[in-house]
Amino acid sequence: MNTSEEAFRQFHHQLRRYIQRRAGSDDAEDILQEVFLRVLRNEAALKQAREPLAWLFVVTRSVLVDHFRKRGRTPTALTQEADLDVLAMPKEGDETDFGRCVAPLLNRLPEKYREALLFTDLNGGRQTELAASLRINLSTAKSRVQRGRVLLKQALLSHCNVQMDVRRKVMELLPDKGCKGACC
């Protein structure tokens, strides 16, 4: 992306639909304008983003959370949204237990850690982009990513039988006998 305006123009309709589904049509235009202002203020981060659309959605989500908080409403539509549906559905040729196990466990993480992992590890965003889009310190963003990874690892190890080779590389991931569909 060359400029914030180009990115915004290209993804304008997708962002509007995303906002309308969560906040309704009445507030969508105002929220969209706030997204545009934040994008303009953080143009350097957008230019560095490997996945501009993912970066824009994180900014949009942050604006929506602020919007709900200003009105004294809990953003349940955001905290319970199905961002992870994409993970739960195996991609072509990827019928492993790993994909089916990770999505529900990731979905159970506290929102700030889940959001950090979705942005960085799953969407390829940088921690600096995460910090800019959420308007937090870089050290805070790094801490969230690291803590999220630790929590996800703990959940995986407690719900799944992980088979590793001598180099500690995961060879196989199987649901634990006591899992009862909670993770797989």
Distances from the Cα of 56 to the Cαs of 60, 71, 119, 146, 174, in angstroms?
A: 6, 23, 11, 22, 35
Domain end point (choices 46, 81, 116): 81
User: Which helix H or strand E contains 9, and what residues bound it?
Assistant: helix 4-23
pLDDT at 158: 83
pLDDT at 77: 44
How far is 142 from 115, CA to CA, in rounded Å? 12
Based on the fold, state whether residues 89 and 179 are members of the same structural domain: yes
Based on the fold, state whether residues 127 and 179 are members of the same structural domain: yes
Based on the fold, state whether residues 108 and 180 are members of the same structural domain: yes
Q: Which residue has the tokens 């659309």?
A: 53
Domain end point (choices 31, 59, 81): 81
Based on the fold, state whether residues 92 and 21 are members of the same structural domain: no
Based on the fold, state whether residues 124 and 34 are members of the same structural domain: no
The count of domains in the chain is 2
Based on the fold, state whether residues 172 and 91 are members of the same structural domain: yes
Based on the fold, state whether residues 24 and 74 are members of the same structural domain: yes
Based on the fold, state whether residues 134 and 161 are members of the same structural domain: yes
Based on the fold, state whether residues 64 and 88 are members of the same structural domain: no
pLDDT at 21: 82
Based on the fold, state whether residues 47 and 123 are members of the same structural domain: no
Q: What one-character DSSP code corresponds to residue 83? A: T
pLDDT along the chain (184 residues), means of 10: 74 86 85 90 79 81 84 56 38 48 80 87 80 89 94 84 74 62 49
Neighbours of 5 (CB within 10 A): 13
Q: 5 lies in which domain range?
A: 1-81
pLDDT at 147: 95
Model-wide pTM > 0.85: no
pLDDT at 170: 67
Domain end point (choices 27, 54, 81): 81
